[in-house]
Amino acid sequence: MLADRQTLSAAQLAPWWRGAAIYQIYPRSFADSNGDGIGDLPGVTARLEHVASLGVDAIWLSPFFRSPMRDFGYDVSDYCAVDPVFGTLADFDALVERVHSLGLRLMIDQVYSHSSDQHPWFLESRSSRDGPRSDWYVWADPKPDGTPPNNWQSVFGGAAWTWDARRGQYYLHNFLREQPDLNLHNLAVQDALLDVARFWLDRGVDGFRIDAINFAMHDPQLRDNPPAPPGGKRTRPFDFQQHLHNQSHPDIVLFLERLRRAIDGYGGRFTLAEVGGDGSLGEMHVFTQGNSRLHSAYGFDFLYAERLTPELVARVAQDWPARPGVGWPTWAFENHDAPRALSRWAPIEQADRFARTKMLLLSAMRGSIILFQGEELGLPQVDVPFDQLQDPEAIANWPQTLSRDGVRTPMPWRSEAPNLGFSTGEPWLPAGDEHRPLSVDRQVGDPDSMLAFTRRCLKFRSDCAVLRLGSMDIIEAGEQLLRFERSHDGRRLLCSFNLSERPAAFRASGPSLISSGEASSGALGAFSAAIEDIS
Active site members: 211, 274
Rg (CA), the chain: 23
Where helices occur in 415-486 by DSSP H, the ranges are 440-443, 450-463, 465-469
Main-chain dihedrals φ then ψ at residue 503, nearest 5 degrees:
-60, 150
Main-chain dihedrals φ then ψ at residue 505, nearest 5 degrees:
-60, 135
CB-hemisphere CA count at 13 Å for 34?
11
Task: Give the Cα separation of 367 and 372 in Å (integer).
Answer: 16
Give, for 111, the enclosing helix (H) or strand (E). Answer: strand 105-111
Reduce the DSSP state of residue 198 to 3 states and report it: helix
CA triple 518-521-526, angle to 5 deg: 30
Number of residues assigned to the chain: 535
Are 226 and 36 a contacting pair, CB within 8 Å? no
CA triple 377-383-384, angle to 5 deg: 115
Are 315 and 329 a contacting pair, CB within 8 Å? no
CA-wise closest residue to 366 among 484, 238, 280: 484
CB-hemisphere CA count at 13 Å for 56?
31
Task: Give the Cα separation of 172 and 180 in Å (integer).
Answer: 6
DSSP 350-370: GHHHHHHHHHHHHHHSSSEEE
Q: What is the DSSP letter of 64?
A: -
Are 114 and 174 a contacting pair, CB within 8 Å? yes
Task: Give the Cα separation of 172 and 218 in Å (integer).
Answer: 9
Task: Give the Cα separation of 468 and 4 in Å (integer).
Answer: 12
CB neighbourhood size of 156 (10 A): 23
Are 317 and 484 a contacting pair, CB within 8 Å? yes
Task: Give the Cα separation of 527 and 47 in Å (integer).
Answer: 32
CA 461 → CA 55, 320, 362, 467, distances in Å? 9, 20, 10, 6
CA-wise closest residue to 110 among 286, 249, 328, 274: 274
CB neighbourhood size of 324 (10 A): 5
